[in-house]
Amino acid sequence: MSAIVSARRGGAARLCAHIGRWVPVVLLALTELAFAQEPTPPAPGSTAAMRLLELINKNDALTGEVAQLRGQIEELQRTLKQSRELEKRVVTDLDARLKALEAKPAPTAQKQDDAALIALRGRLDQLESALQALQQALSAGDTPTEADAADEAFNAALQRFGAGEYQAAVDGFGDFLARYPNDASAPDARYWMGVAQLRQQNFRSAIDVERLMIEQHPNDKRVPDAHFVVGSALLALGDVPAARKTLEDLIAAHPSSEAAARAGTLLKQMP
């Protein structure tokens, strides 16, 4: 491609040199015509007339040749411009190809990448196998278990309590405790069952349920609240001394609990 561009440039240079030799001749002839001083027109057939006619003919011929040469110059200029643009595109393309070759990883790096890809695919296969095993285990675990049934029963009773259906809640918690006495939610079931009875003003039943809860689950988080329910029920029954002692014992045993704070407020209001 560089040879083609050089050849074209050489032809353009030779033609321009040829034109350069003719331009002074043309200018000289035109100058002679422009500044010729002939006070009187030459007589027809005279030597001067023949000379003038010859100059006119030469002028016409040179004018035509000049126009032709100008056209050739313009053509050469267009060709030269196209050659330069073509050369620029070729250089740009070669540069892009060179950069692409330079960016291509070396064989060693390519081998390392292939090895890493194989290892990654192997790891992916292991993860897919583990995922399938987990899905199978989860599918097997979809079968309802006793724990699921216990949770459903407890939540159903708790929803009854939240809806203000206290007797239905008492029955639900009682059924839950009868079927699942050792379930993890048994302390909560006994506590909420006592609160539901307190809301129904069944104060003796509330006291019995909460005391049973405290006895069977002495370390449960609901124990301070159960003591407060007992003290509140005793106060409602008019047993002020027993209520006061229960609340004071609550504050002494669990001073940082919310139940202790409520007990302190209640003690201030007691006679």
Tell the burial category of 79 from Cβ atoms under 10 Å away from its Cβ (0-12, 13-18, 19+): middle
Query: In this structure, which amino acid lies at residue 149?
Result: A
The 10s digit of each residue's pLDDT in 199-219 is 999 999 999 999 999 999 999
Per-residue pLDDT of the chain (271 residues), as tens digits, is 444 445 445 555 554 444 455 444 444 444 444 444 444 554 544 565 566 556 655 555 566 565 666 666 777 677 767 767 776 776 576 566 656 655 655 555 555 656 666 766 666 666 777 767 766 665 655 555 778 899 999 999 999 999 999 999 999 999 999 999 999 999 999 999 999 999 999 999 999 999 999 999 999 999 999 999 999 999 999 999 999 999 999 999 999 999 999 999 999 998 8
Please provide the DSSP assignment of 12-27 as one string: HHHHHHHHHHHHHHHH
Side-chain-side CA neighbours of 124 within 13 Å: the count stands at 6
Alpha carbon distance 262, 260 (integer Å): 5
DSSP class of residue 105 equals P
Measured CA angle at 103 (ends 100, 104), to 5 deg: 90
Give 15-33 pLDDT, tens digit per residue: 444 445 544 444 444 444 4
